[in-house]
Amino acid sequence: MLVSYAAFLAQASPEAAKRLALVFEKTVNSLEIMPHRCPWLS
């Protein structure tokens, strides 16, 4: 679902899609350090 949202957003605003990807990547990488923030995600 996130991929389809990002694809739609990229058509409307490529800059916003890039920001979304960067924020998502930063958030996912932070789970490596603090996995307890999202215990349901394995």
Tens-of-pLDDT digits for all 42 residues of the chain? 888 999 999 999 999 999 999 999 998 888 888 877 766 655
Cα–Cα distance, 24 to 18 (Å, whole number): 10
pLDDT for res 42? 57
Q: How far apart are CA 18 and CA 14, in angstroms?
A: 6
Its pTM stands at 0.69
Q: What is the DSSP string of 1-42?
A: -HHHHHHHHHHH-HHHHHHHHHHHHHHHHHHHH-GGGSTT--
Q: What is the pLDDT of residue 27?
A: 86
Backbone Cα Rg of the chain: 12
